[in-house]
Structures are given as structure tokens and as C-alpha cells.
Structure 1
């Protein structure tokens, strides 16, 4: 992730000339110190006729000391300015909708007429393989699973845990919900699941390879219920409707999609099913929003640490200088 260098407290840089202003505008600090009174001090004054007066000793710093102090000041101001590396705002996936997959697992889905890697497989196995990738890509959606045959049941309620949804999909198999196809029950079950949730955007993906059994709830009646509850239904017909082993009711699937504001797709093989999922991702794109907090790496510790290091160096050099002077004084007395 690219990072940009920024100054957090730009106002701190205006403090850089402060020592110069203090030096020129404020009077020097006067410090009193004890003096040595000589026994003959008064006598000397009387003899010479001089009058005592106050005096001051100005201690001047060497060139190295000034350079050290300037560097320390600059580093302290640099730390106060809070230098930092600021990354680009991270894109956060926004939970935008409930996405329900209603999949047909009636006996007809066991038909062995789809190809994967040059081998014939059951329709359900092919659908599952492609659907695994589709689920993993729906980050941000709360997904649920409804499987149907003669009856419809909830395999996974709405959850943002897509790994769990994927696992529940893998565990489902043909015949678990009966041998017939009841599309109406599947839509009604899914609509009831949507009613229990608060997210307004509701999308259902209905996959089937058969015709409705005509028992209990009719598909178009269930679709009308879904429409009134603002559920968008995308329908996918599995298999070739003109094949010998197909009783796919495309007309009903098209009407369901049209009534609810969705679309109908025909999937005759895994390649086409993959393309359909890509189209669905465009029709119902994942929504993102920027994070309010940008990733920030604070760098003030570096100039602050350097300033403290120079302070210690100055103190160490000062102590060494004082020791050297004391040694010289002792030598002079000797």
C-alpha cells in the first residue's frame, strides 16, 4: 500500500525561530553568586580612592555547544510537528443486502450429463463446484441457503460467515428434500426468511432443472408474494431445455424473474454457469465504502530519540570538560 509523508502539526514549525526572538527580546538572566571578602579589601579601597561597583561575568558557549543546542531544538520541534506516514484510505466492504440461494436438489439434479475436466458428472456436482466460487466472491453480503425438492427447507439462515454457508452447501446432496420439484414452496420459504430480517435489499437466486410439481403454492403466486415484499429473483434454468432428459420450464422461470425485477438465465454447462455468475456480480455488485480512519505510522519517536541522545552527549562532554579543568587546576597548584 503506498504511503505519503505528512506533518501532523504543521503549526509547530513556526516555533523554530523562537530561540532567536528570546535571545534578542528578553534581557539576559542575572544570577547572584557569593564573593570572597579579603581582610585588606577596605584598606585597598581607601589607599586607591576607588569605589566598589557591581560586575558581571558573561559565560560564553563554544561553537560546538551552539551547534548542539540548535540541533536539539530542531529535533524537538520536529518531534512536536508529528511527522507521519499516511496510507491510502482502505476500502471496506459494506454489508449491502441479503442474498439467498434457493437450489433444486430433486432427483433430476442427479442426471449425469454435465462435463468437468473432460469427465461426466451429475448436474448437482457441477452446480456446487461453480457455486463455491460464487459464494466466496460475495464478500459483504449476508448469504443464506434454501434447498428444495418435494419440500423446501432452510440449510443456512442469513449470515456474513460465507465459509459456513459454503460448508453447508457442500454437505447438501440430491434427494435430501424429496424427489419432485416444488418451485413455489422454495420461493415462499425464501420470502418468509427475508421477512425476518431488517436489511431492505433482498435478492434471491433460484436454480432448477425441472418443472414445478403443482402442489400447494404455485410458482407465480409465490413470486407475486416475493414481489410485494420487494424481493428480486434471478432464475437460472439448469440444462438444455431441448434435450431428451430435460423438462425445464423456462416460461415460468422467465415470468418469475420478470415479475420481481430480476432476469432469467439458461445454463447448459459449467462454462455458461460461470458466465451467469459473472453477470450476476455486475447486476448486484459488491458495495464498498471508505474507512474513516487512514492507516498512520507515527515517526515522532525518531527525532525525539535523537534529541535525547544529543542531550546526553552534551551532558557527557560537559562533565568530561569539567573534569579536565579540575585536573589542570590541580597541576597548576602543584
Structure 2
């Protein structure tokens, strides 16, 4: 549906004839003028027996005046009618979900075995590159960030400001939370941040390339707590299990996802990770409000500016003409 021109208050145009009604219903202003005294004026009165009558002058306006002020009046009425351009309807994004990214930044994520733009890069650099695009596409979600290794800490609490989340993701690096991979601790930290918020829809994305090395709480026990708190956990395993330098525990990640109603994905390279994020978009689609939002651009300042500009120009021209008349009169008196 294309953009349309609309008038919000068309009834205002019934006021257009008001100046004509005023002109017809109220008499013109009469201005007294001084008489021209003749030498034999009094004799003429006595001979004729007529009594002198008072006289008045009615100032006449030129057609230019009426056209000028007619345009000004039309511009004022047009401004009051609130003309506007209404854009095509747009569905408003409905913020209805907390989406938490919980990412592993243990030392193993520094392994250079992923290809990006023809070069081998660290797993974390490739993951972070894809995550940037994913975050930007989640408009409508309130997103948060948790990074974990030996410890788990909140990098960004839930916020609709996705640019902020994206910037905080960029600032994170491998080793900031320790060396080991404590998956259970990461999930419980995520549950804590969910409990502080009132939204019912809760989604956690757990990204790791290792096996849990913690002893405080086991990953499946933490997943059970998440299930009880209605948190859906999708898990992404980074790398190839069984290869040298990889201790990915796929079985645990699959059980975590199954227990909480999520899905498990394995990303062996950057391209597969991009595909996973596309699949996640389908699993957790962005929701929209049912009502339609129509963007409106108000146009009333334009006719209003025209009316004010023409009034100012009229008074400026009048002042200049009056000044010229005064100068001419003074010169006539001096002569």
C-alpha cells in the first residue's frame, strides 16, 4: 500500500467563507477627512440656503490586496486542517521474550581451526562474527549476555538496546572468565538473571566447545532447574568431537536441550554456524503486534510558514510605502 495524502480535519474548510461574511454583514469603516475651504464658501451657503453636510471617506482596497490576503487565509485554514502523508501500514514489533546468549570463552575457544575469509582464525573470533549478525536481527527481543569458563558472569543484563549488547560482545575475549568450562555454573547464572525479569517467554542459547569440568552443580541438574523455571535452552556444540584438540561433550548438550524443550546443533565451521542461527530464527520467530502502525508525516508547518511569510512581507512593503509617502510630503512642504 503506497503513501497517501490525507487531511485530518477536513471540516475546518467550512471556515473559508468567514472573511466574505464579515465583509457583507458589517459596514465598511468610514474615515473622517478634512474639507477643502473655498474663498466664497460661506456666501454660497447663504445664497443656496443649504446646510453643509459632514463627509467621510471609505478606503478602497486594490484587487492585489484581496488576492494576497485570500491566499494567507487559505494557507491558515489549510494548516488548521492538519494535512499529512500517511505511509503504508507496518506491523509493530512486540517485545515478548528474553533471549539470553551464554557463551563459552575458556582457553579452548582460542584454538585456530576455523576458516574465515580464507584464513585460519580462533573459534571465538568466528563465533563472535556470526553472533553480531544474529543479535542485530533479533529486533523486538530483550537480549542479555553471559560469558563463562571457570566462572560465569553477566556481561549485559536484559535490554532492548541491541547495539549495546553487540558492543559488549565485541569487548569480550577468551580467558576473561578463566581456563576451564563450567557449563552447570553458566546455566544457573542464566536462571538467576531470568528470575529477575517478569517476561514469561525465556530462551537461552548455550554455546560451548568443551566438556563440563565443574563440581558445584552438574549440567543436567542445572538444566532441570531451568526446565522448572520454564527456560528453553538451545545448545550449540563448537568443533568436531573426537578430533585432536576437541573435547566436545555432545551427549550432555543434547540432553540439556531435550530436557528443557530446546534443540541441539553442532557447528563444525562458520558456514554451519550461520545456518544454525537461521534455524534458530525459525524456532524462535520475532513476534509482532496484531495492530498495524501507520507512519504519519505532518505537513501543517508548510502552509503555516507560507501564511506567516506573506503577512510579514505585506507589513514590510506597507512600512516602506508609508515611509516613502512621508518623505514626499516633507519635500513638498519644503518646496
TM-score band w.r.t. shorter chain: 0.7 to 0.9
Indicate the larger mover: 249-258 or 269-278. Answer: 249-258
Indicate the larger mover: 184-193 or 305-314. Answer: 305-314
Match of 1:302 among 302, 306, 317: 306
Match of 1:313 among 306, 312, 317: 317
Residue 177 of structure 1 corresponds to 178
Q: 1:207: Cα distance to partner?
A: 0.9
Q: 1:192: Cα distance to partner?
A: 1.2
Q: 1:187: Cα distance to partner?
A: 0.9
Alpha-carbon distance in structure 2 between the residues aligned to 1:233 and 1:328: 95
Runs of 5+ unmatched residues, structure 1: none
Deviations 1:230-254 (A, max 9, x none): 2221111212346465443334323
Q: 3-state DSSP class of the match of 1:262?
A: coil
Gap change, CA 1:155 and 1:122, over 3 Å in 2 = same
Aligned partners of 1:224 and 1:260 also within 8 Å: yes
Equivalent residue runs for 1:161-176 within 5 Å: 162-163=163-164, 166-167=167-168, 170-174=171-175, 176=177
Alpha-carbon distance in structure 1 between the residues aligned to 2:72 and 2:254: 72
Q: TM-score scaled to structure 1, two decimals?
A: 0.76
Equivalent residue runs for 1:61-100 within 5 Å: 61=60, 65-82=62-79, 86=85, 88=87, 96-100=96-100
Equivalent residue runs for 1:214-229 within 5 Å: 215-229=215-229
Deviations 1:272-312 (A, max 9, x none): 11122233334444567788984546221123212321343
Verify: 1:201 aligned to 2:204, yes or no.
Answer: no
Indicate the larger mover: 77-86 or 283-292. Answer: 283-292
Deviations 1:186-239 (A, max 9, x none): 211110122123444322110122333473323232122112222221111212
Verify: 1:148 aligned to 2:142, yes or no.
Answer: no
Alpha-carbon distance in structure 2 between the residues aligned to 1:169 and 1:47: 110
Count how many residue pairs are aligned between Structure 1 and Structure 2: 325
Gap change, CA 1:74 and 1:111, over 3 Å in 2 = closer
Aligned partners of 2:113 and 2:121 also within 8 Å: yes
Q: TM-score scaled to structure 2, two decimals?
A: 0.75
Aligned partners of 1:97 and 1:202 also within 8 Å: yes
Residue 24 of structure 1 corresponds to 24
